[in-house]
Amino acid sequence: MQSICLVEGVRAAGVREGKYGVALIEASGTAAAVFTKNQVFAEPVRLMRERMAGGALDGIVVNAGNANVFTGVQGYGDACRMAEAAAAVLGTVPERIGVASTGVIGRYMPIELVTSQIAEAGGMLRSEDTAETDAARAIMTTDLVEKHAAVVRNGFTVAGITKGSGMIAPNMGTMLAFIYTDAEVPAPILQKVLQTAVVRSFNRVVVDGDTSTNDCVFCTATGRRGTPDMNEFQEALEEVCVSLARQIAADGEGATRLIEVRVTGAPTEEDAAKVARTVVGSPLVKTAVYGKDPNWGRVIAAAGRAGVDFDPDQATVAVTDGTRRVLLANKGEICADDVMHPEALVDAASLMDGAEVIFEVALGAGSAAATAWGCDLTEQYVEINGKYTT
Amino acid sequence: MQSICLVEGVRAAGVREGKYGVALIEASGTAAAVFTKNQVFAEPVRLMRERMAGGALDGIVVNAGNANVFTGVQGYGDACRMAEAAAAVLGTVPERIGVASTGVIGRYMPIELVTSQIAEAGGMLRSEDTAETDAARAIMTTDLVEKHAAVVRNGFTVAGITKGSGMIAPNMGTMLAFIYTDAEVPAPILQKVLQTAVVRSFNRVVVDGDTSTNDCVFCTATGRRGTPDMNEFQEALEEVCVSLARQIAADGEGATRLIEVRVTGAPTEEDAAKVARTVVGSPLVKTAVYGKDPNWGRVIAAAGRAGVDFDPDQATVAVTDGTRRVLLANKGEICADDVMHPEALVDAASLMDGAEVIFEVALGAGSAAATAWGCDLTEQYVEINGKYTT
């Protein structure tokens, strides 16, 4: 097992029929969730904003294929019916079921199919590697790979699955993550540490520069293994979230490589994150990475428009593949160009051929840091999104 | 003549050698300019911020091929040398010369070539159609067409040329516009009306969601035809700016069609503009337009993340080609989908085959309106930017 079934008290199942899938995950415990900030949000998000006030769940049900957005009263009723169907098979009340959806916006749910898939999944719940895999696969849309993460610490485990094709924009706009731990964490604290972890992970993946209509991250703590050291728990949760976030970036629609942007020397962490997100989301940076072109002018120009004060004459830009590193610009001095430092350009380009390209941007304007993740922009992204049927 | 040479008192010339071009425009008068807000800005922008305080120009010199950014003291000196060379051929002082650059970032200027091109252009200054065309062509980078606009009103003319490949991001990041009028307008007033016109035109073209390192718009008023009606002048200036802005959008890198997004029913014009810019800049909307897919869910989802409060149940989305119009969603009701209203989807798709696709988004949250322009996102954009040499 590699993810959620490592957590004591978790059983999972997933079924799929064409583009329609349902994942069902059973786990009783305190629970927290973070939702999209989009003004236009899914009906299941509306329902969950009401119900998560309870701070406890017995299970989560997720459907792929229809986002249940802009579907009004009927859509809200459909989200309730998903909760009811899941509650029936899990032997609990609908108020203790988490509901999430992903898929096309502006279509009514094929609710009969979804409830029958929920019943089917109910008969398959188990705690084994094929179960977590089935669940992770059931919620994929244009994802090419399933996404799992787990961190095992002294006395507890934190693990999760996620979906999201996290290119410039995820196709159908949705990033979902379901995280579990067997540590015992009261709901208000769980909510607080989850929010911090999400800010430093999923919110640093550039998925259209913003949350979609359906984005949500749930975290359930089954409590089976008692109270953890809270610093250690926060660290483990963040590690799981970052791992899942990076997997989303790497599986970006049409992507050939992951881009990581590490910003240091910012006035605040929020400022550093703004710059990192702006650089990693820049179409010009994304296409340059696709073309293995160490065009650091695009990096510094994107940093400059992030809305953060800094002096370009104090800024430094480098590229690394994690092993070797080439300085491109250093405190206002050009270190790589085709006239005076052509060998540095060639060196830099040679670092851009792998699965991961890392830009380091030191602003020289403070001591805060942040990292963001994205992927390159390729012809395939256009093809996927230009031809995806409504 | 179709643009700046229609304005009394304007002479122009342009020379080009491979990717290096210089435009020289002679026109004495009051002058105003609007510059990039990017923290990283070009050395000519630094110089002009100082010199435009004078409120008067005798001419403008522009080079293409090198953006003169991140070039420090040497770059600032090169911008000064451009002004000196232009002043010499125009018989004035360098302080009355506007300077602008576009091209690659982070390379020192080929200043000998540029100054010799300025001298050459100085011998070619004239007021005729080939002159304005030469100037407009000299400053093109990945632009496929030159861009001119003119509005002739009772008693005065306003006209301009521009460059910019205004896709998601303009290649090399730069939009430049040079506008002239023979109306007599004091510099402080010219600055004010220019700012308003720029906000409603160039700032509504989604060029990377922000101004680049080199963006600038200059407006010179030769005053040859006396004081205009100021309302009429403001209107004419805005019309010229909007025409040039739309030409930038339509010539977007790899673009096959212009996208116009008209937002109404917003709390403020600024809110309406935010929504319009977010929708027109959404990669999912851009790819949908490329695929002729009336995927209005992407439109409403982009509107929802623009940071403007509105109730989706009061929002309306329609698509039009300027002649026919199809309602896609009306105050929370789905009007086009593949199950209940498939004929509306087919109708809508049939409107998306032309050179221009217009989305109308009524938010139902106020009475302010704004329009933004962009273009579709195609494989060619990726190719141009992935393979453009640093």
Confidence of residue A113 (pLDDT cuts 50, 70, 90): very high
C-alpha B371/C-alpha B272 separation (Å) is 8
Burial of A378 (0-12, 13-18, 19+ CB in 10 A): buried
Burial of B324 (0-12, 13-18, 19+ CB in 10 A): exposed
CB–CB contact B338 A379 (8 Å): no
- In chain B, which residues have their Cβ closer than 8 Å to the Cβ of A334? 70-71, 106-108
Query: Any idea which residue has 């002082």 for tokens?
Result: B93
Say if residue B237 is in the same domain as residue B369.
Answer: no
pLDDT tens-digit map of B190-201: 999 999 998 888
Q: Which residue of B has its CA nearest to A104?
A: B297
Summary mean pLDDT of chain A: 90
CATH code where residue A322 lies:
3.10.20.340
Cα angle B156, B157, B159 (rounded to 5 degrees) comes to 160
pLDDT of residue B166: 55
- Token duo for residue A71: 């579907």
C-alpha B328/C-alpha B297 separation (Å) is 9
| pLDDT higher than threshold 60 for residue A88 | yes
For residues B285 and B251, the answer to whether their CB atoms sit within 8 Å is: no
Say if residue B269 is in the same domain as residue B313.
Answer: yes
**Are β-strands A216-221 and A20-35 bridged in parallel, bridged antiparallel, or unpaired?**
antiparallel
Q: Which helix (H) or strand (E) holds A111?
A: helix A111-122
Say if residue A222 is in the same domain as residue A305.
Answer: no
pLDDT of residue A152: 93
Task: Give whole-number Cα distances, A199 to A363, B108, B220, in Å.
Answer: 21, 40, 48
Say if residue B86 is in the same domain as residue B206.
Answer: yes
Say if residue B13 is in the same domain as residue B156.
Answer: yes
CB–CB contact B301 A390 (8 Å): no
pLDDT of residue B316: 96
Say if residue B157 is in the same domain as residue B292.
Answer: no
B229, B250, B271 — which closes off a domain? Answer: B250
What residues of chain B, 319 to 348, have a C-beta less than 8 Å from chain A? 329, 332-334, 337-340, 345
Summary mean pLDDT of chain B: 90
Averaged over A364-382, what is the pLDDT?
Answer: 91
- In chain B, which residues have their Cβ closer than 8 Å to the Cβ of A385? 283-284, 287-288, 291, 377
Say if residue A105 is in the same domain as residue A219.
Answer: yes
Long-range contacts of B78-83 (CB under 8 A, 24+ apart): B78/B43, B78/B108, B78/B109, B78/B111, B78/B114, B79/B42, B79/B43, B79/B44, B79/B46, B79/B47, B80/B47, B81/B111, B81/B115, B82/B44, B82/B111, B82/B114, B82/B115, B82/B118, B83/B47, B83/B51
Say if residue A242 is in the same domain as residue A188.
Answer: yes
Confidence of residue A257 (pLDDT cuts 50, 70, 90): very high
Secondary structure of chain B in the HEC alphabet?
CCCHHHCCCCEEEEEEECCEEEEEEEEEEEEEEEECCCCCCCHHHHHHHHHHHHCEEEEEEEEEEECCCCCHHHHHHHHHHHHHHHHHHHCCCHHHEEEEEEEECCCCCCHHHHHHHHHHHHCCCECCHHHHHHHHHHCCCCCCCCEEEEEEECCEEEEEEEECCCCCCCHHHCCEEEEEECCCCCHHHHHHHHHHHHHCCHHHECCCCCCCCCCEEEEEECCCCCCCCHHHHHHHHHHHHHHHHHHHHHCCCCCCCEEEEEEEEECCHHHHHHHHHHHHHCHHHHHHHHCCCCCHHHHHHHHHCCCCCCCHHHCEEEEECCCCEEEEEECCEECCECCCEHHHHHHHHHCCCCCEEEEEEECCCCCEEEEEEEECCCHHHHHHHHHCCC
| Residue B88: CB atoms within 10 Å | 16
For residues B229 and B151, the answer to whether their CB atoms sit within 8 Å is: no
pLDDT of residue A128: 96
**Are β-strands A216-221 and A176-181 bridged in parallel, bridged antiparallel, or unpaired?**
parallel
CB–CB contact A301 B108 (8 Å): no
What percent of chain A has a predicted confidence (pLDDT) above 90? 69
Burial of A253 (0-12, 13-18, 19+ CB in 10 A): buried
Helix (H/G/I), strand (E/B), else coil: A333? strand
B256 tagged catalytic: no
Task: Give whole-number Cα distances, B201 to A242, B35, B152, B194, B242, in Å.
Answer: 41, 14, 19, 10, 5
Give rounded-to-5 percent helix, strand, coil for chain A. Answer: 40, 30, 35
CATH code where residue B242 lies:
3.60.70.12
Say if residue A157 is in the same domain as residue A13.
Answer: yes
Task: Give whole-number Cα distances, A84 to A72, A114, A216, B173, in Å.
Answer: 19, 12, 20, 53
B219, B250, B281 — which closes off a domain? Answer: B250
User: Of the listed A102, A133, A174, A320, which one is catalytic?
Assistant: A174
C-alpha A200/C-alpha A238 separation (Å) is 7
Residue A350 makes CB contacts below 8 A (sequence gap 6+) with: none
Total domain count for chain A?
A: 2
| pLDDT higher than threshold 70 for residue A169 | no
- Mind telling me how many Å the CA of A175 is from chain B's nearest CA? 14
Q: Which of B172, B338, B361, B224 is nearest to B279 (CA)?
A: B361
Q: Which of A32, A129, A108, A27 is nearest to A63 (CA)?
A: A108
Helix (H/G/I), strand (E/B), else coil: A300? helix
- Mind telling me how many Å the CA of B383 is from chain A's nearest CA? 7
What percent of chain A has a predicted confidence (pLDDT) above 70? 95
**Domain extent at residue A289:** 258-387
Say if residue B90 is in the same domain as residue B110.
Answer: yes
CB–CB contact A40 B168 (8 Å): no
Task: Give whole-number Cα distances, B5 to A317, B184, B233, in Å.
Answer: 44, 17, 18
C-alpha A8/C-alpha A158 separation (Å) is 10
Is the ipTM higher than 0.85? The answer is no
User: Looking at the partner chain, which of A291, A334, A378 has a beta carbon nearest the beta carbon of B70?
Assistant: A334
A101-115, A217-231, A243-257, B156-170: least confident range: B156-170
Burial of B39 (0-12, 13-18, 19+ CB in 10 A): buried
Say if residue B264 is in the same domain as residue B373.
Answer: yes
**Are β-strands B56-66 and A147-153 bridged in parallel, bridged antiparallel, or unpaired?**
unpaired
Helix (H/G/I), strand (E/B), else coil: A338? coil
C-alpha B63/C-alpha B24 separation (Å) is 9
pLDDT tens-digit map of A71-81: 999 999 999 99
pLDDT tens-digit map of B85-133: 999 999 999 999 999 999 888 889 999 999 999 999 999 999 999 999 9
Say if residue B128 is in the same domain as residue B233.
Answer: yes
| pLDDT beneath 70: ranges in chain B | 165-173, 207-211, 387-390
For residues A315 and A275, the answer to whether their CB atoms sit within 8 Å is: no
Q: Which helix (H) or strand (E) holds A235?
A: helix A230-250
A250, A279, A312 — which closes off a domain? Answer: A250
